[in-house]
A and B are shown apart, each in its own frame.
Chain A
């Protein structure tokens, strides 16, 4: 527990938190404005016409 606390004190500096904030924002911007789904694995079978796949 103490080592975790010291790790937090050492790493979670205001500067590092700001860096993380910027990177998170840019990652959100990238994912939200791009097209991550097509063929990326998450939608691999999306739209595929499988037998018995009727709407």
Chain B
């Protein structure tokens, strides 16, 4: 959800900043190997459609998830001339590192889940299981490696779409907003 907000926010900021030139400005962004981002998303579909269950049952989904992050990293590398995409790349690397350190899932604590799921308690969430229809695994704080980079940030109710996200997500979102809204001399580095 927060990532969708980033794209909409970047679009809105671009419209405010560049006014009538906003569409031309976005159209002038040169992205190489863009299909890699779409392919990476396709690779994540099995994991995002997987219901909750013991974490060791998702070997294929985890392999595809890691492959998708490598594709995304390669996409960013191919577009490193776009300075803003380098910011997004830092976010991707942050998420990838914490996933690699935690059984190839993004860790989330029962406390965070109770925060974003009204009506549930911390005891409702079974540690070590995949949090259904996401990339997350439920892990207690003390069992989470690189906890500051995990899904520790949350927007609780009454926000209509309570959500948890990571620092990497925030950095990535910032990169997308900058790419869409910042002046071209910031977005595109001289080579």
Footprint of B on A, CB under 8 Å? 15-16, 18-19, 21-49, 55
B62 contacts the other chain (CB 8 A)? no
- Give the docked Cα–Cα distance between A43 and B52 (Å): 9
B182 contacts the other chain (CB 8 A)? no
Q: How many residues of B contact A (CB 8 A)?
A: 68
Instruction: Report if A34-B26 is in contact (Cβ < 8 Å); known contacts: A47-B125, A48-B120.
Output: no
- Give the docked Cα–Cα distance between A16 and B24 (Å): 9
Q: What per-residue 1/0 map shows which CB atoms of B17-32 lie under 8 Å from chain A?
A: 0000001101101010
B144 contacts the other chain (CB 8 A)? no
* Given A37-B136, A38-B112, A43-B131: 7 more A-B contacts, CB < 8 Å: A27-B7, A30-B173, A32-B68, A33-B72, A36-B48, A48-B117, A49-B124
Q: How many A-B residue pairs have CB under 8 A?
A: 163
Docked-complex contact A43 and B132, CB < 8 angstroms: yes
Docked-complex contact A38 and B173, CB < 8 angstroms: no
Can you give 23 A-B contacts (C-beta < 8 A)?
A16-B23, A19-B26, A19-B27, A22-B26, A22-B29, A25-B31, A26-B7, A26-B179, A27-B4, A32-B44, A33-B169, A34-B95, A34-B165, A35-B135, A35-B166, A36-B48, A36-B134, A40-B161, A43-B132, A46-B132, A47-B129, A48-B52, A48-B120
Instruction: Report if A33-B117 is in contact (Cβ < 8 Å); known contacts: A25-B34, A38-B134, A47-B52.
Output: no
Docked-complex contact B180 and A26, CB < 8 angstroms: yes
Instruction: Report if A35-B151 is in contact (Cβ < 8 Å); known contacts: A42-B133, A47-B125.
Output: yes
Residues of chain A within 8 A (CB-CB) of B31 are 21-22, 25
Footprint of A on B, CB under 8 Å? 1-4, 6-7, 10-11, 23-24, 26-27, 29, 31, 34, 37-38, 40-41, 43-44, 48, 51-54, 68-69, 72, 75, 88, 91-92, 95, 106, 108, 112-113, 116-117, 120, 124-126, 129-136, 138, 151, 154, 161-166, 168-169, 172-173, 176, 179-180
Distance in angstroms from B18 CB to nearest chain A CB is 12
Docked-complex contact B131 and A36, CB < 8 angstroms: no
Docked-complex contact A30 and B176, CB < 8 angstroms: yes
Checking A23, A47, A55 against B113 with a beta-carbon cut-off of 8 angstroms, the contacting residue is A47
Distance in angstroms from A33 CB to nearest chain B CB is 5
Looking across the interface, which residue of chain B has its beta carbon closest to that of A48? B124
